Structure 1
Amino acid sequence: MRKAAIALTVLAVSACGQTVAGSPGAGEIDVRKLEAGKYPTQPMDSYYSYTHSVRSGTSLAITRLADHVVLGSDIDPKLRYGTGIHAVDQPDDVASSMADQSKDVAKRNKMQFGFVSGSSDTEPVPLNKVPATSTLVTVTVLQFPSADAASTASREFEESDFNVNPVENRAVPISKFPTAYAHWRPGTPTIGSTIAHGNYTVSVFVSTASADLSMLTSMVEKTYTVQLPMLDELRPLSPEEVLRAEHDPEDMKRRVLDPSKTAVPGVGDMATNRPHGFLHFETDRESSKKLYSDGNVEYVTMGQAYSSQTYSYSKGIAQSFGTGSSKLLDGAILFRSRDEDSAKTLWSSLVAKPDAAMTPVGVPEAKCAEELMPWSSAKHFTCVVRYRNYVGTVWSTQPQDAQQRAAAQYAVLANSQ
């Protein structure tokens, strides 16, 4: 929350030379002297006023849902790697992880929104197909206007997928969840299942190395066992509530660097998640989970960080069995830890081998380094800054640009109190 008791606000000078009057708070640097280049140094709410819309509200609703979608490692510890995500903001998007015929089912039953997350026991390699020996699980959670609509959609999802190959497909009971639908084609190492749970449907697609039906059904049961209770904690949203969703209730978006000053919410871009929801975007989710746990991270805000879609190199299995979430060429991620000591722990763990020559001039607790990014052939330079219990990460394909972004992120944090 903003601290109204702080009377003095540190303000900045833009690259164009425009000066805003102000003075630094006691014990802190004068951020007006930092080299922030063309980037904003004031919090987002100083230049942007949020306007409610269906599109923005839907993005906020999907981000909220992601915090309650199961991770593969919660199903089985070996499923530690993320194969990608997909934001479902219109009925046609369900084809990202379900049969094409599912689009009509989603439309007919007035699906509102959804979120897809894929997991694997094999670390994905960019531009390569997922090995056939991998165990893969894709979970699709969709919200509908009512429990009746979700129940009807679940049955119709099963019917439409089953009828793609009605001669060879066989229905499969999921003993622990008798209301779930499932089917497989004997001799193939995959199974598809769907279940209605309140206003939600949960669809699970599993692929394993061998056509072992007991293993496939066990993985489906494990998924439902973890996923369904998570949805019990998430009250469904009416269309009106989606439209009127609050833009920044965590008071985080205003503090993250927004290079383009667009500020419009999107999944993976100007979005705030709890650590669980943010882990969907990570590749090695278990390593990241420990990192954020050690740093007592409460919230994570992404600014121009990730694409809301993952493109697959395994089409025909499931679209979201791709090669991890698509990180954008430059962006920002802001973490809020429980306290300053926790933030220091997190800051120390990020960019483990900093290049002293790249340290941004005058920026306290800042470090930078060139890092290899497996998803890109371009050079990438990452910088990390800490301000009180906030830790910001920025990156760019140019070292000076990354340093300027780091300075700007620090200034935004200092000016956001």
Structure 2
Amino acid sequence: MVEHRTAVTARLTLGALAVLLVGCGTVQGAATPGEIDVRSLDVGSYTTAPADLEAGRKSTDGPILEGLRMAGAVVFPHEVDPALTHSWGTDVLDTPRRAADTSAISNVNLPVLERHRMIVAFDVAEGSQAFDKAKPAIETDARITRVVLLRFPGAHTAADAARELEATDFRVSPDNQPVPIPGYAAAHAHWRPGIKTIGATFAHGEIVVSLFLQHPSPDIDALATRVAAILDAQTTLLDKFTPTASDRIAELPRDPDDLLRRILIPGPANQQIAISSREFAAWPGRAGLHYRPAEPAELGAAWDRGGVDSVANSYSTTLFRFRDDATALAFGTTWQNTLSAAAHPVAPPLDLPQARCAERRAGTAPALTRCYVSYRRYGAFVSGAEPAGVRQQAAAQYALLANAQ
């Protein structure tokens, strides 16, 4: 199966294993020369009509959509520190409460975030070891970097928030000491001598960069140097990012790359679905890199060769847009050729021989069936616990892509 760089990304990609089916599975259109006649496919009860995205617009969409834009402006920790080969999570944080609950922002800072009207945040964390929820990170010798971008309504507000976030966090322990960051006199940072972690905040325009780093040993010089390296890379990305004006966030397009309307949804095409980063959202441009498979290396290379430029997810379906038809098809072949030892190929849907399907068992958990299907420059994974239903999903996704042209 595809092993994604981040644990949360894996959840985004796999989605729910059971999908409630409602609505009509009408298959439209006729095949063009050389293409499969989608009317012959067994799509079960799945809809194959492109969704009306604007019909589902919700008042909660705007901040999440801005957070997804920020997902393309956040530094990936492994780009700065290649030792960070494992994900420790990534997601849009669409409320101050969710942002305060992350480890890069002490939960004592909720009042600060609320007072300064935090709009949205994006969080990414990576480590040199796999995340183990049964063991506190501080008890390991893992290298960890967590980056949270916090959006505020104005540069002055962001600067005030960065200073107050640090001050509030600093007061948590009487042992905390300030730490200067090389090259960043305006950065706020602290650590506790003898403890191998550091926290830092830095305002850059309307965005506050909040960092949490752990080092294998309590080496303050190494920690401060690592913070500076992250800020070097992060500020370069932010210089290329234009935050959406606060009064225009509600108008952000739900489907900026025309991808989300092409993805399979568990219900009729005219249903109203709120944007949710984990369940129903488009990840435009560089934000799609949060879905790039880290392992096996051959699959990551196939992604790179394919020039994936946008990603969308809908519950148990993930859709990618490749550079061309050939690379979309080749990605599925590479996926099947690099399945883990716990997985084995299974039959694809009838009349859809180019689809690739596999079953994977992990311990005592129910087996998961997954299929990859491509149509022209689009490729999609569908997943579920019921093999026949997954094959119908794959057929329906193919038909939907054909009908969306």
TM-score bracket for this pair, using the shorter chain length: 0.7 to 0.9
Residue matched to 1:269: 279
Q: Is it true that 1:124 corresponds to 2:131 in the alignment?
A: yes
Residue matched to 1:412: 400
Shift of 1:17: 7.6
Q: Is it true that 1:205 corresponds to 2:212 in the alignment?
A: yes
What secondary structure, in the 3-state scheme, does the structure 2 residue paired with 1:392 have?
strand
Shift of 1:363: 1.3
- Larger RCO, structures 1/2 (Cα 8 Å, 6+ apart): 2
Q: Check 1:276–1:237 CA distance in 2 against 1; reply closer, same or farther (3 A cut).
A: closer
Residue matched to 1:136: 144
Q: Is it true that 1:334 corresponds to 2:316 in the alignment?
A: no
Preserved contact between residue 80 and residue 285 of structure 1 (Cα < 8 Å): no
- Residues in 1 aligned to 2:256 and 2:175: alpha-carbon distance in whole angstroms: 50
Q: Is it true that 1:234 corresponds to 2:210 in the alignment?
A: no
Q: Check 1:72–1:185 CA distance in 2 against 1; reply closer, same or farther (3 A cut).
A: same
Residue matched to 1:295: 306
Q: Which moved more, 1:137-146 or 1:350-359?
A: 350-359
What secondary structure, in the 3-state scheme, does the structure 1 residue paired with 2:235 have?
helix
Residue matched to 1:156: 164
- Residues in 2 aligned to 1:182 and 1:19: alpha-carbon distance in whole angstroms: 58
- Residues in 2 aligned to 1:283 and 1:214: alpha-carbon distance in whole angstroms: 33
Q: For residue 265 of structure 1, what is the amino acid of its counterpart?
A: I
1:5-64 alpha-carbon deviations (Å, 9 max, x no partner): xxxxxxxxx99887577433333222122111121112113xx54354431111111111
- Residues in 1 aligned to 2:25 and 2:383: alpha-carbon distance in whole angstroms: 26
Shift of 1:249: 2.3
Match of 2:72 among 67, 85, 95: 67
Q: For residue 296 of structure 1, what is the amino acid of its counterpart?
A: G
Q: Aligned-residue CA RMSD in angstroms?
A: 2.5
Matches within 5 A, 1:102-117: 102-117=109-124
Q: Is it true that 1:58 corresponds to 2:63 in the alignment?
A: yes
Matches within 5 A, 1:281-320: 284=294, 287=297, 289-304=300-315
Match of 1:193 among 188, 194, 200: 200
Q: How many residues align?
A: 374
Q: Check 1:128–1:271 CA distance in 2 against 1; reply closer, same or farther (3 A cut).
A: farther
Shift of 1:377: 2.1
- Residues in 1 aligned to 2:134 and 2:322: alpha-carbon distance in whole angstroms: 35
Residue matched to 2:261: 254
Q: Check 1:280–1:296 CA distance in 2 against 1; reply closer, same or farther (3 A cut).
A: closer
Residue matched to 2:391: 403
Residue matched to 1:83: 88
Q: Is it true that 1:390 corresponds to 2:378 in the alignment?
A: yes
Gaps of 5+ in 1: 1-13, 305-330
Shift of 1:274: 4.3
TM-score normalised by L of structure 1: 0.83
- Residues in 1 aligned to 2:248 and 2:278: alpha-carbon distance in whole angstroms: 21
- Residues in 2 aligned to 1:71 and 1:174: alpha-carbon distance in whole angstroms: 20
Shift of 1:299: 0.9
Shift of 1:219: 1.1
Q: Check 1:213–1:273 CA distance in 2 against 1; reply closer, same or farther (3 A cut).
A: same
Q: Is it true that 1:343 corresponds to 2:353 in the alignment?
A: no
Q: For residue 67 of structure 1, what is the amino acid of its counterpart?
A: G
Preserved contact between residue 54 and residue 242 of structure 1 (Cα < 8 Å): no
Gaps of 5+ in 2: 1-20
Preserved contact between residue 50 and residue 247 of structure 1 (Cα < 8 Å): no
Preserved contact between residue 279 and residue 285 of structure 1 (Cα < 8 Å): no
Residue matched to 1:319: none
TM-score normalised by L of structure 2: 0.86
Higher fraction of helix: 2
